[in-house]
Structure formats: structure tokens, C-alpha cells
Structure 1
């Protein structure tokens, strides 16, 4: 952590006065692209900044796309119908966009591995930061486990003779191994896996339009006919509509976790704003357009779209509709790699949060230990262990277990988004009071109305999305999966507040100096050549 004198909010100098005391140095302000930054006295943490702009951009574009989009849209379509799915995904997409603007503003100013969890503790209440960090760490561990369970569902497309748990075990070992290596290996793997997902979705969009216009094995124009069959376009009434929100939140989940890479990103004040600015187009292209085309082409009552024992990806179904024999298998194989990517990303984020918990004294200190590659290896193993327990429970029925895990992760994401909005409002108020608003390298143009809208919408969705577990009969397990995280977070918050006697952070006392980053000494990334240079330049521009 940065070093500061006890009497002044200034970093300490190595020079000493005549009495042998260290001299405080006033803040050094540097102009950079019309923004001013406070010089960081020391590195905010001991993680190595090895993720390049190329890797961070691609991870942001495709790193969080996984089972939620490729597989979860099947459940959304089955339970809510095409109209409910499109509306819910659009609303949640708007929430995520505003949330990312809030988070990007804070992360570019203070790029730490704990990201929004650290911000909530620093800008609101340490007890709330404690509860949120533990909650989100569990979210990432469960996300990794849910991805491993999803592998079993995807494998069933080819055969139900091969034990699914064996494939999950193999993938579990692989992603654990990757996360124990230097972070640049994680970044490079995610770069190429994310690139595959981006290309796949683009191809899917093109093929979906072709299929809808008659380029299918039945040679029939589909149009909007699937919106008029049975109970469509709104299936299950208000309960079906409300239930889609948690699935949509699961699908978008992880978008905010890109800020967790801030502690290991080169030149975060420059690269993180680039990532955030492009979120709108990624949401529109990858989520909204994909969901619209799925609802048009796939009927909500398609066999095995979403059951307790099985689940079929709508992406695979659309490719099957082209009539090409190998198309379904190819897209299913790509989805398999996407699940690996999503699990890898969730494990990375979870390990960094557990590292943050250890380094801030919110968990045993040994979780903050690093190996020779500056990777928090104990945190990786602990997070991976919880993930293993999750997929090890798939004897319940992979489809049913995956639904419950989806609910847990979806609610956890919504809680994170809600508190990011609260932290953002407090952060901006403190900056204004302390006269430091001009220091922001990136500003959230939706402030103040954007964060407030996101907070209200998240609160309403969290409360009403479990409607289906009350009707037609009360489903106790479903109720738990929708609402258990709320009392758990409250108990953790209250317990830590009582034990540590924490208090609400006053605006005038808020720490807006520690960990603030400067680009003054940042090394430029070496020039890239060939295809890598083309991808790194063109894809971020497109998305």
C-alpha cells in the first residue's frame, strides 16, 4: 500500500530533515490528455501488471460471454417466452451499461485488484465492503462451478454414455493450472478463447438471419411466427417474466469483473476507459441482437430446451436448422471452449478477490501470499476447491443444479451492481467536497441520474424476480436460491460492523489519495505485428 504520514495526507519522501524525520511531499499533479493524476507513492498491491491493452480489450469483449448467453438463453426462452426474454435482457443490459460507467470512473482513478468491493469498503462502510467482497468471491467460485456443470449438459448433445463429471474434472484441473501460472498466460489464453467467441457470435447472427428468411432445412420463412404459438410471446405470465431477470443477470454477470484486472493491467488509466466506452456496443451486438434472433427462430417449447435433467443451447439449435450435418457439432464444440473461458475468467476474478480479502485483513493473511510468478496461489486453490464442490454435486441432476447455481450467481451480480451505484454516488460527492473532481481521467456522463436509476431498478428486480417460486405452489429450494444471499449479506455486514465497530465513511474523510495511479512511468507496450496487430486494432474499434 502507499505510505502516508500520520499528520498529513502526503506521501513520505526518502529525504530527511535535520532531525532525521522524513519530509512529507505535497501531491504531484501531472497533466495527461487534459486530465490530472496524483502520483502514486508505491504500487497499490504486489500483483504484477502484465495484462496488455490487447489482452484486456479482448477479455472485456468476450471474456465474460459464456454459459449465461450460450446456454442460459434457453432457460429464459422456455420460462418467459421471446418477448419477456427480449425486454428483460434489454433492461438488465441498460443497468449493466450504467454500472460499468460508474465502475470505470472509479477504477481508472484507483485501479486496485479488489475493484468495486474495495470501493464499497472505502467509500461507504468497511463492513459493507467486507460483506460484498465475500459475497462476490462466493459468486465467482459458484460461477466456475456452474460452468463445470454446464459442460456436462453440453456433452449430452453427443452422448450420455460418457460420465460428464470426468470431463468437468479434466477442465477443472486445466483452469486451475492456468491460473497458477503467471498472469500473462491467463491473459493470452483468454485473448484467443474470447476471439473464438466473438467470431462465433458474429457467424451466429448472420446464420440466424439466413435461417429466419428461409435458409433452413424446411425451406420455410419463419419471420415472427414463434412469437404467436401457444402462450407466446409472454409465457408464464408475470412470474415467467420476472424469472427471466435473474437468468439475464447471470448472463451479463462478469462484465463488472473486468475491473478486477485493474490491479494487473498495464496503464489502467488509459486502457480501462477504452474498455468501458465500448460496453454499449458489446451489449447491443452480443446480447440484445442474439436474444432477439433466438426468440424469432427457436420456439419456447422446443424439446429439451430447459429441463431438470437436460438443457440445449439455442445457438446449437439454430445451427442445426441450417441442415448442415456438422453445423450443430461445430457450434457445440465452440460453446465447450466458451465455457472453459468463462470458468477460467471467474476463477481468476475470485482468486483476486480472496487475495484482496487476505491483504485487507478481511480473511486470513495467508490468502494474500504470492508465488514466484506473483500469483495468489493459495487464493486460487481455495476458490477452485469451492468450485469443485459445486460441480461435484451434479448427481442432483445437472439441469436442476445448474438452474439453482444460476439463480445464486444472478442475484449476487445484482447486489454487486446495486452497491457499485451507491459507491459511485458517494465517490463523486466526496470528490466534489474535497475539490478533486478535475483529477478524474474518465467521467461517468450519466451521473447523477444514471447511478440512481440503476440502484432503484436493481432493488425492484431483486425483490420481484422470485415471483415464480410462490405460484402456483411454494417451491422452498427455488425460494432459497433466489433470496438466501440477502440475509447472508446482512448478517455478514452486521457481524463485521459489531466486531470491528466500523462506521459510515464521512465524505470529508474519504481516502481519495491512496492507490491513485499515474501513467508517468508506464512503459509502452511493444509494437505488435501481423494478425495480432490487426485483431488488437480492428476488433476494439468494431466493438
Structure 2
């Protein structure tokens, strides 16, 4: 790694080695290939976060917290995710690596090696459990039609399908995710239109609904502070995976160009897919709807809204579409989990065998190992699919919040080091909310992690729910402190942070970036997020 004195001379594009040259990948067969196209990454980013958390988790959130609690909790979590993704986008556009935010927190990067170790293992477990939870969700959705077909058999079939996609070329994975995500996006748009029609009177009751369900009985805030707090873990589970798109950085062409565009679209995804959908659900579905959520099962509010339109066929259709969404979510989680296990092997945190790749440059050992955790889904036959899915949802939701906190902390350290080493002019993407945004998001995440398990203490203590809400905290702390004391790691000084290794300089295949373009001041994200350029073009056309 070349060395330079930041105080004597500012770094330029020539200061960094060309570590992403295709010839370098050809030398080491254990490296992953950059075969995901910008088109695929954009679609994965848009639709990859739409999964069982939105389609199925909103039912339990509505039943336990009411429409206002659900809307407010999803809005707060959406704001946290927006700030987190802006912070992550800034780092991943500068240093696009497979481990993404887990690598950023670790060895010689932005925080402490022990944090990188704990976070990567935690997030690998998160993705592995997410795969299991999505397969369990298939069993829950199957109950809409029948209780006679063995749910574990459906999970096994879908697990084999997802495993096959993840063992083939990453281009096949990307293309499959592209079409599955496109289907989810069309479904969301269709749901919003149908939901408006149902609210206006085209429903089984033949009457205008308006906002009457917002004030039904105990609504809009059901369960008081406990009900409100419990919705946050559900919302965190639903938004989980938004940050996973950065894990594909090591297999994406032109990441310095692709990821700024991906991150800027997060604002509209949160607004359209979550906030608007949650509002429609609160308006069209009463919180006490029969079968909305219980200990043994739950029904998707999306299915209920389509059924309320007066067509049983429509209800069955949307239920089938939601099942394909669960398969897509499992596919995405397995992909991300295997890449993190691959990163653990490369960083020396796991056996080197997990870093082995096949002829498609896929970490097949990591894929198979991550898949074994999905065997948790078969426990649904003994525990009950609805109950098991709730426990897994809580585990993943808390893990997501821990990851978002670490991303914000890494971002604060990253920007401080960038300024100390005089490299700020090289940032291809800049978080305009720094430093207030990441600091507030980290603090709010920590607060939510501590209070969202309120309901497990009242009216009586529930040990199982308590474990599902808080087990992540001691596990994360034990891994962090254990590695720190064993290895004697320390907080990385700002002057010693590695901002050179993996720095991306290639704008096209084998074409070096123009140093004048690289050294341009980074653009602010806010005008692009709001689509100011598009509005200007529309105004010019009208005039």
C-alpha cells in the first residue's frame, strides 16, 4: 500500500493503486466478479426491501399498536433508514467492498477491529435467520388456502430453488431478483390503487370508509405506550435489507457511479412503498379484524384489502404474489449472508474454507453454510408458523437496528478521517446531513433498542418475548468484548485509517477514471433526491 504525507501534498486519483483492474481479479480465483449490472442493482435496491415485513408484518403491527402507532413508527424508522443509507452510500461509493459496512467498522478501517468482528458475525446471523423467517412466512401465507398441506414441504421446495439461484452465476441471481422485484413493485402500486377504490366505497360493505377505522374503539393508539413501542421492531424488520444492497458492491460494475444513484432513490422508496402503503392499510383494515394477528397465524393486510374489494380471486392472487415476494426476500438474504461469511473468511474472522469459490466465482461453501441455518423454518411444525415467525421477526428487527447504529458510527469516523487526511475532494457522493444526521440516527436507534420490548414486561413478564427482543444485545457485547480482550484491539486513530485499499478508480471495464473528474467537489444529494432536475426539465417543456 503506497504511503503519502497528507499534510505535504493532497491525494489525487494517482495516489491510489488500481485495485479493481480485471487482471487483478484474474490472478486470484477466490475473488468475486463484478457482474451485477447497474440495471439489476437499481431494481434490487428498489424492490429488495419489499418483503414479508411489509406484506405480513404490518398485520401484527396494526393489531398490537393501532393505525396511528403503526404509521408513526414506520415514518420514524423510515427517516432513520434514509439517514443511514446516505451515510452508507458515501462510504461505499468511495470504497466498494463486498463486506460493505461490516468491513468499514473493522480492521484498520474506521472504528475498531473488534466491532467489525462482532458486527459481521451478527449480521451474517441476521441474514441467515432472515432467510429462515421468509421461508416460515410461506407457511403462514399458505394457511390462507389450506391447513392440510404440510408447510415444511413448501419451505423445503422454495429453499432448494433459492439455493440453486445462489450457486449459479451472479448474473443469473441478479436477473431473477430483477423480475421478482419488478413484480413486487407492480403489486405495491396496484395495492395503492385498489386500496383507494376500496376506501371510496367499492367494498363488501358498500360504503365510504374514510378515516373511521382510525377512531374505532381503542384506535388510533392501541395498547398505549407498550403497543406503540412494540411496533418499532416490526418496522425495523420491514425496512431491514435496505442496507444489504451495499453488500453487492464487490460484484457491481461501476459502483462509484451506480451507488450514488441507488442511495438517492431511498427517499422515494420509503415514501411510496412504506408510508403510503401503511396509510392505506390503516384506512381500509380495522385493527381488530378477525385473523389479522394471533398466536398461531396471521393474515396479510394486503390480502384483506384485495378481498374487501369483493373478489375472492383477487385475494388469492395477491396472496400468491406475496409468496413470490417471500421467496425473493429469502433469495436476497441468502445472497447477502453468504457474502458476509465470505468476508469473515477473508478478514481472518472465520475459517478460510468459507472463502472458496466455484467456477462462477460464487462462495459456494459460504452459501451452503448459510443455508443450513434456514433449517430453523422446519421448527414451525412443532412451534406453530405464526409464533415462530414473530420470534424470528423480533430477532432480525433488533439486529437491523444494531447494524444501522454501527453504520452511523462508522460514517462519523469515516468523514472525520477523510477531513484529517485531506481527501474530502475525492468523495464521489457526499452525505449532506453529516454530522447531525448520523449522530441523531445512532442515538435514536440505541433508544429504540432499549424501549421497544416494553410490552414483554406488562401486564406480566413474558420470558420468551423478552429473549426475542433483547438476546441480541448481550451476544453482540460478548463478541465485541471477547475479541477486544483476546486480540487487544484499539480504536483506529484518524491518521492511520486505511482510505487507500479498495479505493475504486475504474469508471468502465479497464478504463481508468479521469483524475479531473475524480477531483471534482462531491455533489449534494438533496436536489437529486427531490428530483429538482426532472422538475426543471418538465417546466422548460411546458413553457
* TM-score (structure 2 length as normaliser): 0.90
Aligned length: 501
Deviation at 1:394, TM superposition (A): 4.3
Show CA shifts across 1:260-285 (max 9, x none).
00000010000001000000000000
Gaps of 5+ in 1: 11-25, 31-36, 525-540
Deviation at 1:463, TM superposition (A): 0.5
Contact 1:149 1:394 in 2 (8 A): no
1:497-508 aligned within 5 A:
497-508=484-495
Deviation at 1:363, TM superposition (A): 0.5
Show CA shifts across 1:350-402 (max 9, x none).
00000000011000110000011000000000000011234434420111110
Q: Quick check: 352-361 or 514-523, which moved more?
A: 514-523
What is the rounded CA distance, in whole Å, between the counterparts of 1:480 and 1:394 in structure 2?
21
Of residues 507, 511, 514, the one that matches 2:498 is 511
What is the rounded CA distance, in whole Å, between the counterparts of 1:9 and 1:360 in structure 2?
25
Within the alignment, does 1:211 sit opposite 2:198 as a pair? yes
Show CA shifts across 1:211-238 (max 9, x none).
0010112210000111111211100010
Show the counterpart of 2:73: 88
What is the rounded CA distance, in whole Å, between the counterparts of 2:242 and 2:267 in structure 1?
11
Deviation at 1:9, TM superposition (A): 5.5
Contact 1:308 1:398 in 2 (8 A): no
Show CA shifts across 1:32-52 (max 9, x none).
xxxxx9453355881100000
What is the rounded CA distance, in whole Å, between the counterparts of 2:378 and 2:500 in structure 1?
42
The structure-2 alpha-carbon separation of the partners of 1:432 and 1:216, relative to structure 1 and needing over 3 Å to count, comes to: same
Deviation at 1:443, TM superposition (A): 0.3
Show the counterpart of 2:416: 429
Show the counterpart of 2:63: 78
Deviation at 1:405, TM superposition (A): 0.3
Show the counterpart of 2:288: 301
Show the counterpart of 1:292: 279
Deviation at 1:28, TM superposition (A): 5.5
What is the rounded CA distance, in whole Å, between the counterparts of 1:366 and 1:107 in structure 2?
26
Deviation at 1:335, TM superposition (A): 0.3
Contact 1:27 1:39 in 2 (8 A): no
Contact 1:394 1:401 in 2 (8 A): no
What is the rounded CA distance, in whole Å, between the counterparts of 2:379 and 2:258 in structure 1?
38
Show the counterpart of 2:41: 56
What is the rounded CA distance, in whole Å, between the counterparts of 1:135 and 1:394 in structure 2?
26
What is the rounded CA distance, in whole Å, between the counterparts of 1:521 and 1:38 in structure 2?
17
Show the counterpart of 2:92: 107
Within the alignment, does 1:385 sit opposite 2:372 as a pair? yes
What is the rounded CA distance, in whole Å, between the counterparts of 1:333 and 1:384 in structure 2?
24
Show the counterpart of 1:22: none
3-state SS in 1 of match to 2:492? coil
Deviation at 1:189, TM superposition (A): 0.4
Of residues 5, 13, 18, the one that matches 1:40 is 18
**4+ long deviations beyond 4 Å:** 42-45
1:86-485 aligned within 5 A:
86-121=71-106, 122-485=109-472
What is the rounded CA distance, in whole Å, between the counterparts of 1:163 and 1:312 in structure 2?
18
Show the counterpart of 1:34: none
What is the rounded CA distance, in whole Å, between the counterparts of 1:39 and 1:285 in structure 2?
41
Contact 2:256 2:507 in 1 (8 A): no
What is the rounded CA distance, in whole Å, between the counterparts of 2:174 and 2:248 in structure 1?
10
Within the alignment, does 1:29 sit opposite 2:16 as a pair? no
What is the rounded CA distance, in whole Å, between the counterparts of 2:176 and 2:508 in structure 1?
28
Show the counterpart of 2:517: none
The structure-2 alpha-carbon separation of the partners of 1:28 and 1:437, relative to structure 1 and needing over 3 Å to count, comes to: closer
Q: Please, what is the CA RMSD of the aligned residues?
A: 1.8
What is the rounded CA distance, in whole Å, between the counterparts of 2:442 and 2:221 in structure 1?
26
Show CA shifts across 1:457-506 (max 9, x none).
10110000000000000000100100011111111011111111111100
What is the rounded CA distance, in whole Å, between the counterparts of 1:211 and 1:40 in structure 2?
57
What is the rounded CA distance, in whole Å, between the counterparts of 1:38 and 1:296 in structure 2?
55
What is the rounded CA distance, in whole Å, between the counterparts of 2:459 and 2:435 in structure 1?
41
Contact 1:90 1:288 in 2 (8 A): yes
What is the rounded CA distance, in whole Å, between the counterparts of 1:220 and 1:165 in structure 2?
41
Contact 1:422 1:451 in 2 (8 A): yes
Gaps of 5+ in 2: 512-533, 536-543
3-state SS in 1 of match to 2:312? coil
* TM-score (structure 1 length as normaliser): 0.90
